Amino acid sequence: MVYFLVDTYIDAQKREAYDAYIEAVKPIVESYGGEYLARSEKVVSLHEKRDPQRVIIIRFPSKERLNACFSSPEYIAIQSLREVSVDARALIVEEEE
């Protein structure tokens, strides 16, 4: 298993674009075997310099499926909605065997 973790800093003036991205990305992720474990704006930061407004945690069956998802034509078609509306910081975490 591999986990995709993202924290986002939302530009309030561009919230509409981000909301469109949120709606469009979920079925794409799920079509590649991604399972949302958390998608929430109820975030409490424990670090004064890191205060994201939204956190997303997605589990994929493999790193190959994760990479296929985020390099797919479907995802690339909506990627700009995220890029123009949020500052997103992502991590990929692979389970140790």
- In the block, tokens 């509306």 appear at 85
Query: Residue range 29-46: average pLDDT?
Result: 96
Per-residue model confidence (pLDDT) at position 97: 74
For 48, the token pair is: 């004064």
C-alpha 76/C-alpha 68 separation (Å) is 11
Region 65-86 average pLDDT: 96
Average pLDDT, integer, range 2-18: 94
Please identify which residue in the block is written with the tokens 């990627």.
79
Chain segment 11-30, per-residue pLDDT in tens: 889 999 999 999 999 999 99
In angstroms, the CA 40 to CA 76 distance is: 23
